[in-house]
Amino acid sequence: MAWDNHDRYLTVVGGKGYIARLEQEKVIRIDSGTNLNLRALSVNPVNGTYLIVGNVGTLLLLDEQGRVSKLASASSENLRAVAWNAEGTMALIAGNNGTLMRYSKDGLESIDGARANLRDVSWRPDSKEALIASNCFAEEFIPSPNLFIYDPNKNELKPVNEGRADMIGVDWEPAGKHALVVGYDVVWHNGVIAKFDGGTITPVEFENKRVYPTSVRWDYSGRVAAIVTATSDIGMSAGRVCIWDGNCLKEVYRSDRFFFSDVGWAQGGYRLAAVASTATRTFNA
């Protein structure tokens, strides 16, 4: 899900080509032209166009009038994340098996350097770099870095952290001083929340037993961040919406039925939305 640039509506994508706009009490369906599962979207901050990604390399453009066009993809992998940079000139698209692509007016370009499933992308404010979250194992349990920095000037992907945690969500705070990274330890099944300052990753202490954070987003003031959770299996954990104020994590919503895959703030900072499903699992969120 993503708010439009003027906080008028939410656009939501999902299974079997689902696209809808939520305007106050109305849900307006949009024909995507595909039955493939759609996994993520990002709105261009300049022209309001949405770039949508999904399974089997699906790439769509959605304009503000609700018109959808399909882009030729350079990958057949399931694509999990997409993020425009602040200038609206370039978007990074991330997916399974180390898939990373750069989309711009020049088209699509593949970027090498990763091998595990890539899960989320966040551009650092006032910087040309992007932070990319990854699973910690590639196929057949081959160890992999779980955090990368992408430098578009060098067109280079550099690993900056390794460990036994799948990093699933990442977001730079608005001042660009540090990012929050969330995921879970694949051995002990404990949740992970950490701060990354551009060079060092520092764990955030919280009650993390069987907590599976899947997404994190700062509000536009940088005062608080929202973190949501899913579960590995029904009955193992709860779906939660939590607020982190820099010192402690406060739970504001919990459900044993709904499990979350995404969260985001309106630009005005007074509204928060989260996407949940009865079928969401941490490993496929």
- The DSSP-derived string for the chain is -EE-TTSS-EEEE-GGG-EEEEETTEEEE---S--SPEEEEEE-TTT-PEEEEEGGG-EEEE-TTS-EEEPPPS--SPEEEEEE-TTSSEEEEEESTT-EEEEETTEEEE--S--S-EEEEEEPTTSS-EEEEE-SEEGGGEE--SEEEEETTTTEEEEEE-SSEEEEEEEE-TTSS-EEEEEEETTT-BEEEEEE-SS-EEEPP---BT-EEEEEEE-TTSS-EEEEEE-SSTTT--EEEEEE-SS-EEEEEEESS-EEEEEEE-TTSS-EEEEEETT--GGG-
Q: Could you state, in order of their start, the residue ranges of all structural domains in the chain? A: 1-111, 117-285
Local confidence pLDDT in tens for the 285 residues of the chain: 999 999 999 999 999 999 999 998 899 999 999 999 999 999 999 999 999 999 999 999 999 999 999 999 989 999 999 999 999 999 999 999 999 999 999 999 999 999 999 999 999 998 889 999 999 999 878 999 999 999 999 999 999 999 999 999 999 999 999 999 999 999 999 999 999 999 999 999 999 999 999 999 999 999 999 999 999 888 889 999 999 999 999 999 999 999 999 999 998 878 999 999 998 888 887
* Average pLDDT of every residue of the chain: 95
Q: What is the model's pTM?
A: 0.96
CA-to-CA distance for 183 and 136, rounded, in angstroms?
10
Widest CA span of the chain, in angstroms? Answer: 48
Token pair in block for residue 81: 């994340």
Give me the CATH code for the 1-111 domain, please.
2.120.10.30
Question: pLDDT tens-digit profile of 207-216?
Answer: 999 999 999 9
End-to-end CA distance of the chain: 13
Options 2.130.10.10, 2.40.50.220, 3.40.710.10, 1.10.10.10; CATH of 117-285: 2.130.10.10
Residue in 35, 50, 73 with CA at minimum distance from that of residue 2: 50
